[in-house]
Structure formats: structure tokens, C-alpha cells
């Protein structure tokens, strides 16, 4: 794969340095590096002289899509808000006026979600933080900037004006629509009650791929308490939609060494979507 200057710039913003193998080597060989990660093997080609000598080989590359591992479609937990059958305006109004859990007492406003309503990609995070609570939009601040850069690196955008193509658009939502006080972890009862809204959002968007970011999103969608590190790297399914588990951008800002794995997850998602599209084109 040949990286465009734009993609290179975006990867560098993510903290990933990339270089291409010389022409004599395999053309698709890529190298990406993070400075504080262990070296798994010698690189196929030496990096250019200007690269940091400690820059390491790539845990990151385009690769064959692992076999799908279906998971039984979750049903809304007991006590979940009932959003079945609501259209977008009714759903938005129901979220805005919701008092189904105690988080309604402390929120500034609900954080519904944002993006193209028929986006092929759906990103699901955890709970609003302070900036999201104030702005009403998910993934703002530094973690939002990192997410936008990651998405831009693979040609995606949350802003409808960037491209009219839904295949290049994302819809972003959180499992919880209200901020937990002092950014504490969501409580199981809060996640259970709010889940009906997320289920309806997924039904309405009907994405081709879901990226679940962070442990609470994963717990809600896959009904699994396994850590993200154990669940990432393969294709799961949620109600028949391929689902890729990856790290939350806020975690990546604290654990720089995991950015390369997050990039690997994005590449897996891209491969999965492309493979599904190629399959659909043949039938």
C-alpha cells in the first residue's frame, strides 16, 4: 500500500511514524512505529536516516480478515428505556427529556450523538466527559481530535459537509447519554437503563461496521467482561453487524504505545468493510 502525503500526515498526528520499503522490497510492506514499544522482529528494510534509530517495526499492516465469530444478538437489559419504533426526531426528544436514571440530576445536557444518519461506520464510546457534557457532542477535546485524526487517516469523517458519501461517514454515539459525576465509571444500572437508546440508534443507522471503543462500550455491546486487549484483533458481531473492539482515544492519550494497535484495529475494520462490499458485489 502506498501512503498519500495526507495519510502520512494524519498518522504522524496519531503518533505513528511510517515509511515505505525501497522499491526492491515487497511494495506493500509498511513500517509504522511507536518509540516505546518492544521490537518484535527486525524490519524488512532500514528506516531512512532521519528516522529515530529507536523507531520500531510494525505491529501494523493490512492483513487478511480473521474469521468472523458471531455473538448472539443482545436484547435490551431489564429496566432499559423503551425506544423501540422511534424515528430520529422522537428518539432525540426522548433522550433529551430522559430521567430514567440518576444521571439526569447532574447532567448539563444529554449527549445524543452526531454524524451522518445513514453512515456506514458507527463509533460507540463510553460516557460523556466534562467537555461533552458542556458541548452536547461526543468525543470532543483532545480525545476527539485524536479520533478525528484516526478517522481522517482512513478517509472517514464525522462531518456531513466533508463528503456526501455515506461510506465515508461515521455516526458517533456513547453507551451513556449523560455524564457520570466527576467522570466516574458508569454503573451497571445506568448502562442497562440507557441501552434502549443505543439499540435504537444502531437500528436506525444500520451501519456496515461498528467500532466499539473502550471497555464499557464493549461490555454493553458484547456482554463480555473481558478486557479490550483480549477482544480486539478479531471480528465480532452485534445484531449481524461486524464489530471491531478497540481502545478508547482517551486511553490512547495515556498509553501512547497502544496507538499502533489502535491503527491495526482501524485497518482490520477497513478490511472487513471492503471484504463485505466485495462479497455483496459478487452476489
Is 191 among the residues that bind ligand SF4 (CB under 6 A)?
no
E-strand stretches of the chain: 17-20, 30-33, 114-115, 121-125, 170-174, 209-213, 235-238, 241-246
CB nearer ligand SF4, residue 157 or residue 175: 175
Q: Which stretch binds ligand SF4 (CB under 6 A): 95-103, 141-149, 224-232, 270-278?
A: 95-103
Separation of alpha carbons 63 and 61, rounded Å: 6
Give the shortest CB-177-to-ligand SF4 separation in angstroms.
4
| Residue 127: CB minimum distance to ligand SF4, A | 8
Q: Minimum distance from CB of 179 to ligand SF4 (Å)?
A: 9
Q: Of 85 and 161, which CB lies nearer to ligand SF4 in the complex structure? A: 85
**In sequence order, which residues have a C-beta less than 8 Å from that of residue 154 and are 6 or more positions away?**
266, 267, 270
Measured in residues, the chain has a length of 283
Letters for 23-62 (x = contact with ligand SF4 by CB under 6 A, - = none) are ----------------------------------------
Does residue 98 bind ligand SF4 (CB under 6 A)?
A: yes
Q: Which string of DSSP letters, residue by residue, matches 87-116?
A: -HHHHHHHHHT--SSTHHHH-SS----EE-
Task: Pick one of 156, 176, 199, 211: the residue that binds ligand SF4 (CB under 6 A).
Answer: 176
Q: Judged by CB under 6 A, does residue 81 bind ligand SF4? A: yes
Contact with ligand SF4 (CB under 6 A) among 177, 232, 259, 261: 177
Alpha carbon 79 to chain centroid, angstroms:
27
Question: Which of 17, 152, 158, 193 lies at the binding interface for ligand SF4 (CB under 6 A)?
Answer: 193
Residues that bind ligand SF4 (rule: CB under 6 A) add up to a total of 15
CA–CA separation, 119 and 157 (whole Å): 10
Nearer to ligand SF4, 103 or 252 (CB): 103
Which among 178, 183, 186 has a CA at the least distance from the CA of 104? 178
Q: How far apart are CA 210 and CA 244, in angstroms?
A: 6
| CA distances in angstroms from 221 to 46, 60, 74, 124, 140, listed in the order given | 42, 26, 7, 9, 22
Is residue 175 within the footprint of ligand SF4 (CB under 6 A)?
no
Q: Is 95 in the site for ligand SF4 (CB under 6 A)?
A: yes
Residues binding ligand SF4 (CB under 6 A): 81, 95, 98-101, 103-104, 110, 176-178, 190, 193-194
Amino acid at each position: 500500500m502506498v501512503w498519500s502525503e495526507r495519510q502520512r500526515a494524519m498518522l504522524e498526528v496519531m503518533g505513528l511514524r511510517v515509511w515505505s520499503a525501497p522499491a526492491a522490497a515487497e511494495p506493500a510492506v509498511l513500517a509504522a512505529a511507536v518509540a516505546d514499544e518492544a521490537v518484535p522482529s527486525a524490519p524488512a528494510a532500514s528506516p531512512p536516516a532521519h528516522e529515530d534509530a529507536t523507531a520500531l517495526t510494525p505491529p501494523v499492516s493490512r492483513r487478511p480478515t480473521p474469521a468472523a465469530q458471531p455473538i448472539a444478538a443482545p436484547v435490551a437489559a431489564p429496566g432499559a428505556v423503551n425506544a423501540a419504533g422511534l424515528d430520529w426526531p422522537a428518539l432525540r426528544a426522548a433522550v433529551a427529556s430522559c430521567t430514567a436514571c440518576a444521571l439526569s440530576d447532574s447532567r448539563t445536557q444529554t449527549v445524543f450523538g452526531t454524524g451522518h444518519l445513514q453512515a456506514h461506520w458507527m463509533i460507540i464510546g463510553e460516557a460523556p466527559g466534562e467537555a461533552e457534557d458542556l458541548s452536547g457532542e461526543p468525543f470532543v477535546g483532545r480525545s476527539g481530535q485524536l479520533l478525528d485524526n484516526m478517522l481522517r487517516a482512513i478517509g472517514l469523517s464525522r462531518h456531513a459537509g466533508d463528503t456526501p458519501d455515506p461510506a465515508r461517514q461515521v455516526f458517533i454515539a456513547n453507551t451513556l447519554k449523560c455524564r457520570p459525576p466527576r467522570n466516574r465509571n458508569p454503573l451497571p444500572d445506568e448502562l442497562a437503563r440507557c441501552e434502549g437508546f443505543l439499540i435504537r440508534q444502531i437500528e436506525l443507522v444500520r451501519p456496515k461496521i461498528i467500532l466499539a471503543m473502550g471497555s464499557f462500550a464493549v461490555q454493553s455491546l458484547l456482554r463480555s467482561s473481558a478486557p479490550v486487549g483480549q477482544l480486539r484483533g478479531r471480528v465480532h458481531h452485534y445484531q449481524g453487524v461486524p464489530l471491531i473492539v478497540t481502545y478508547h482515544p482517551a486511553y490512547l492519550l495515556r498509553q501512547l504505545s497502544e496507538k499502533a494497535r489502535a491503527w491495526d484495529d482501524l485497518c482490520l475494520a477497513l478490511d472487513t468493510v471492503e471484504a463485505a462490499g466485495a462479497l455483496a458485489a459478487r452476489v
